[in-house]
Chains A and B, each alone.
Chain A
Amino acid sequence: MRSVMNAIVVEDLTKRFGNFTAVDHINFTVAQGESFGFLGPNGAGKTTTVRMITGLIKPDAGRASIMGHDVEKDGLNAKQVTGVLPETSNAYIDLSAWQNLMLMGKLYGLEKMVRQSRAEDLLKRFDLYEKRAVAVKGFSKGMKQRLQICMALISEPQVLIMDEPTSGLDVQSSRLIRNIVADLNAKGVTFLLTTHNMEEANQLCSRIAIINRGKVVAIDRPEVLKKRIDSLHSLEVSFDKDVPQGDLLALQGIESVEKMGDKFRLYAEETARAISTLVDYTRSKKVEIVSLATISPTLEDVFVAYTEAG
């Protein structure tokens, strides 16, 4: 059986700015067709890593390759197979959506008929076709971001690298972008996605790396990462009347309590025992339980556990 080729290979990649090491000997691979999430707090080194992988800045040590093309030595070929959505970039606001797409098509060396046909399809798919002749300066943030994704997709890349693709967008634009990412991934496009949005990473990524202070501190499938921190099992409970937080904390088996709106989150080592003592407490105080749910660790819990530990 033929093994799946790695679309992205990162080996010992390191970047220093003066005395500050922004990215510190990180290693990971992304298989062809995989959707790989890159999570980390602000300043963790995500964007610097993406900029090194996309060949925008040179690493101080290590190497990266895309579809077998070394991004330093064979940068143009690496870029040719890659679509990039940089976090802080803009489309040309003095040009129309159509002109922006034609420019990108020409920069990727597409024939006129091909770039026109793809631009038309993309603009229709991203609901921008009616505005194709309007200068981008009149677009909303969501429209600009959708256009930028069209610009990243016009070359039909084998690898798509997106830095915070839905950051600051409205719900509809975010959902549209997520649906299209999932659709393209199902068709075999490889994704490297950086995001702050845990739900987005959970939905879209088959594997996740968590980076903190320039180092990869965890890398695995989301569900495996969640299982690694299962000591954080908790209950979420709400009552029909106010209950003092101190009463709940005093219950046997409850380790800590957080108030969240009209609910409490109770952390316990054994959830079954905690439920039993909670039910006894409500009976004794004549309080009704409105809702009760056991909560497994979320990706956010995983993220916090790994980034705070670092």
Chain B
Amino acid sequence: MMSGSQLSRALAIAEKDIRIYYLKGPVLIYGVLFPMFLFLAFFLGRGMPVDFLISGLLSMTLFFTATAVSPVILPWEGSMRTLERLISAPVSIPAILLGDALASFIFGIIISVVPLAFGLVMGVRVFSPVVLAAAILLSAFCASYLGMLFSTPPTNVPSNIMMITNLVKFPLVFISGVFIPIEQMPPWGRTISLFSPLTYMTDLMRYSIQGNSYHPILLDFAAIAIFTVIFMALAMFIHIRNMPKRL
């Protein structure tokens, strides 16, 4: 369990990350522009219901944005030689990771307001605002630690990490019910979809907006929570091991 003083230091790191990384090119390109173009490419002209579109767009945007900031930070800090100064300070590596994940989490939440507002303007009604809020918060936290996991290879070249990140993120978009509802997938597709956290995020968004979901929503929440714990534990374990290699 993290002490109060380490928690406040994690918040200081998140504040620093927000000031520095939100406007970096890779963050804006992979976190904002990519999901937007992906959405336009797949949804325009297909005559799908707006509430289906918006729930898919919301989960995809949240997933892309919350995994956009956290993978960039450590390689960037390694290449800019600020990392050594940071870890010379009395701040634990879990606190550094939490700070970086918080910056990513907040970025995901802020940007996800855009598709939500767009949906509301288009006349979409939210079926369960409470589930939607809880789903956005938990999904953003899960995705931000997945982003931390992406940055575990000890390279200080941010573009290498972004390549790995996109290599994983793009296939997940296609197997998680964002473009094709899970119930319309072949059996093998449905089986694979169980291993993607985005499946449960999208399912919760569908429930929040359309009022129906493929899995029970408690299972969705539980699955995302389990993915979060796994991503967090793996990210901490590998980052602690690899941190000296970045110096």
**A56 contact from B5, B12, B20, B88, Cβ within 8 A:** B88
B125 at the binding interface (Cβ < 8 Å)? no
Q: Using a CB-CB cutoff of 8 Å, which residues 101-118 of chain A contact chain B?
A: 103-104, 106-109
Interface residues on A, range: 20 to 34
A178 at the binding interface (Cβ < 8 Å)? no
Q: Shortest distance in angstroms between B98's beta carbon and chain A's nearest beta carbon? A: 13
Q: Shortest distance in angstroms between B84's beta carbon and chain A's nearest beta carbon? A: 4
B68-91 to A contact mask, C-beta < 8 Å, 1/0: 000000000000111111111111
Within the assembled complex, what's the spacing in Å between the Cα atoms of A104 and B12?
9
Within the assembled complex, what's the spacing in Å between the Cα atoms of A51 and B12?
24
A149-176 to B contact mask, C-beta < 8 Å, 1/0: 0010000000000000000000000000
* B contact residues around A197 at 8 Å (CB): none
Query: Chain B contact residues: over half helix, strand or loop, or mixed?
Result: helix
A88 at the binding interface (Cβ < 8 Å)? yes
B196 at the binding interface (Cβ < 8 Å)? no
* B contact residues around A79 at 8 Å (CB): 88-90
Within the assembled complex, what's the spacing in Å between the Cα atoms of A109 and B81?
23
Within the assembled complex, what's the spacing in Å between the Cα atoms of A76 and B91?
7
* A89 with B84: CB separation less than 8 A: yes
**A90 contact from B5, B85, B87, B92, Cβ within 8 A:** B85
**A89 contact from B5, B8, B85, B90, Cβ within 8 A:** B85
Q: Using a CB-CB cutoff of 8 Å, which residues 68-92 of chain A contact chain B?
A: 76-77, 79-80, 82, 84, 86, 88-92
* B92 with A93: CB separation less than 8 A: no
Q: Shortest distance in angstroms between A101's beta carbon and chain B's nearest beta carbon? A: 12
Nearest residue, chain B, Cβ from A81: B90
* A107 with B12: CB separation less than 8 A: yes
* A92 with B89: CB separation less than 8 A: no
**A148 contact from B12, B85, B247, Cβ within 8 A:** B85
Within the assembled complex, what's the spacing in Å between the Cα atoms of A55 and B13?
20
Residue in A58, A90, A99, A151 whose Cβ sees the most chain B Cβ within 10 Å: A90
Given contacts A76-B92, A99-B19, A107-B91, contact A88 B9 (CB under 8 A): no
A280 at the binding interface (Cβ < 8 Å)? no
Q: Shortest distance in angstroms between A163's beta carbon and chain B's nearest beta carbon? A: 10
Nearest residue, chain A, Cβ from B21: A94
* B contact residues around A80 at 8 Å (CB): 90
Within the assembled complex, what's the spacing in Å between the Cα atoms of A58 and B247?
13
A95 at the binding interface (Cβ < 8 Å)? yes
* A84 with B85: CB separation less than 8 A: yes
Nearest residue, chain B, Cβ from A87: B84
* A54 with B88: CB separation less than 8 A: yes
Given contacts A54-B88, A58-B244, A95-B19, contact A89 B81 (CB under 8 A): yes
Given contacts A57-B247, A92-B20, A95-B16, contact A107 B84 (CB under 8 A): no
* A88 with B12: CB separation less than 8 A: no
Q: Shortest distance in angstroms between A148's beta carbon and chain B's nearest beta carbon? A: 7
**B244 contact from A57, A76, A151, Cβ within 8 A:** A57
Residue in A55, A92, A93, A107 whose Cβ sees the most chain B Cβ within 10 Å: A107
* B contact residues around A58 at 8 Å (CB): 244
Q: Shortest distance in angstroms between B16's beta carbon and chain A's nearest beta carbon? A: 5
* A contact residues around B89 at 8 Å (CB): 79, 104, 107-108
* B244 with A92: CB separation less than 8 A: no
* A51 with B247: CB separation less than 8 A: yes
**A94 contact from B9, B13, B19, B81, Cβ within 8 A:** B19
* A contact residues around B5 at 8 Å (CB): 109
Within the assembled complex, what's the spacing in Å between the Cα atoms of A136 and B244?
26
Given contacts A103-B16, A107-B9, A109-B9, contact A56 B82 (CB under 8 A): no
* B contact residues around A77 at 8 Å (CB): 90
Q: Shortest distance in angstroms between B48's beta carbon and chain A's nearest beta carbon? A: 41
Within the assembled complex, what's the spacing in Å between the Cα atoms of A107 and B92?
10
* B contact residues around A108 at 8 Å (CB): 89-90
| Listed A/B pairs (6) with beta-carbon separation below 8 Å | A76-B90, A76-B91, A79-B90, A86-B88, A88-B84, A89-B83
Known: A89-B81, A107-B90. 4 other contacts (CB 8 A): A56-B87, A79-B88, A92-B80, A93-B80
